[in-house]
């Protein structure tokens, strides 16, 4: 009789273990919308000005982070747009900028940051003259 009782208990344990797959039964947590990450926030791509200009078309519409020296529209060029250049020395020469050494900036960055090194986060666009344009979302002056 002892063996039968023991066998019934073992069988019942095996049956129960098989039903739970050998794991603890956990209560499922319901996920609320506010617990989900904001899908409208797009992470940015960290890229150099030169690298971006090598293949700007493939980055069109992407959010990027660039770093360079800021040239305010009041002091440089005739496009009415500010720009970001790769090398501070380019401010010192009186000649056109090499095409791959800068991007134009569409957005307001205060004039007091002219010629300072800054980081810019923005969306890549392409201008009519094939010069890369960044629509500025935010910027940070490097101290």
Per-residue model confidence as pLDDT tens digits over 87-118: 999 888 888 888 899 999 999 899 999 999 99
pLDDT of residue 91: 85
For 82, counting Cβ atoms within 10 Å of its Cβ (0-12 exposed, 13-18 middle, 19+ buried), the class is buried
Cα angle: 59, vertex 91, 120; to 5 degrees:
35
Domain range enclosing 74:
45-141
CB 136 within 8 A of CB 86: no
Q: What is the pLDDT of residues 46-85, one digit of tens each?
A: 999 999 998 888 899 999 999 999 999 888 767 788 999 9
Count, in order, helices (H) and strands (E) of the chain: 3, 6
Q: pTM for this one?
A: 0.68
In total, how many domains does the chain have? 1
Q: Which two tokens stand for residue 76?
A: 């440089």
| CATH code assigned at 91 | 2.40.50.140
Asked, for residue 38, whether it belongs to a domain, the answer is no
């Amino acid at each position: 009789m002892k063996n039968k009782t023991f066998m019934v208990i073992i069988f019942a344990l095996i049956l129960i273990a098989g039903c739970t797959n050998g794991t603890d039964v956990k209560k499922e947590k319901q996920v609320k919308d506010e617990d989900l990450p904001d899908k409208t926030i797009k992470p940015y791509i960290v890229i150099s000005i030169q690298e971006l200009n090598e293949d700007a078309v493939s980055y069109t519409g992407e959010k990027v982070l660039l770093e360079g020296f800021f040239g305010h529209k009041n002091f440089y060029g005739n496009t009415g747009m500010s720009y970001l250049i790769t090398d501070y020395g380019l401010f010192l020469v009186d000649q056109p900028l090499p095409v791959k050494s800068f991007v134009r900036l569409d957005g307001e960055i205060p004039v007091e940051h002219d010629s300072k090194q800054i980081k810019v986060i923005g969306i890549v666009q392409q201008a009519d003259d094939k010069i890369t344009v960044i629509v500025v979302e935010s910027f940070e002056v490097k101290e």
